[in-house]
């Protein structure tokens, strides 16, 4: 609702209230921070996983901070359903919750649902038929990830997942460098 206030004597229609103020437009808004559809989908996926992983119990907030690297304020707001964390934390959050990072990306509407469907179809096929020498750039092109943000996000997830797999495959390497 937009109310035009002009001059020094402004009346609020139907209210019988007189206000003495400067000329301006005043917009009345619903000040609730109701979650958007995107946030609702994200929380519908994340909250059950948070519960299963034990992160909703009293005192578990610090455990989630340590597991994901997300700052305490953002974790607190996540647990209250008030914010979706930055995408750079999705790989760690997915790992801590036992979820697929692509599911988080789809729920947060960063990538369209077709990417998740493509990934599921890929896992259901014989990987030898797909070919193991595809680069992330080729996969992004084939999946239609053409915008800069989508490509950056996709490459970041691939890099994180392949780095984690390499670290797990050769744990002695990290010890030797320490």
pLDDT exceeds cutoff 90 at 96: yes
> What is the structure's pLDDT at 20?
46
pLDDT at 105 exceeding the cut of 60: yes
pLDDT digits (tens, 9 = 90+) for 7-29: 444 445 555 544 444 444 444 44
CB-CB contact of 28 with 1 (8 Å): yes
pLDDT at 37 (0 to 100): 77
pTM attached to this predicted model: 0.51
| Percent helix / strand / coil, the chain, rounded to 5 | 60, 10, 35
Q: What are the angstrom distances between the C-alpha of 90 and each of 44, 87, 95? A: 15, 5, 8
**What integer best gives the mean pLDDT of the chain?**
74
Residues 6+ apart with CB under 8 A from 106: 112, 113, 115, 116
Confidence of residue 35 (pLDDT cuts 50, 70, 90): low
User: What pLDDT score was predicted for residue 166?
Assistant: 55
């Amino acid at each position: 609702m937009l109310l035009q206030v002009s001059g020094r004597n402004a009346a609020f229609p139907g209210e019988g209230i007189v206000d003495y103020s400067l000329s301006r437009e005043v917009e009345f808004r619903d000040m609730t921070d109701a979650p958007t559809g995107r946030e609702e989908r994200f929380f519908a996926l994340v909250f059950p996983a948070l519960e299963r992983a034990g992160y909703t119990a009293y005192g578990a907030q610090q455990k989630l901070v340590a597991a994901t690297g997300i700052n305490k304020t953002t974790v607190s707001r996540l647990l209250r359903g008030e914010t979706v964390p930055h995408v750079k934390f999705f790989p760690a959050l997915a790992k801590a919750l036992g979820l697929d990072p692509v599911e988080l990306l789809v729920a947060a509407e960063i990538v369209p649902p077709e990417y998740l469907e493509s990934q599921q179809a890929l896992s259901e096929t014989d990987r030898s038929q797909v070919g193991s020498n595809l680069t992330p750039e080729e996969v992004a092109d084939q999946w239609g990830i053409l915008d800069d943000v989508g490509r950056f996000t996709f490459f970041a997830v691939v890099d994180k997942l392949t780095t984690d797999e390499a670290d797990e495959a050769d744990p002695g390497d990290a010890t030797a460098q320490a």
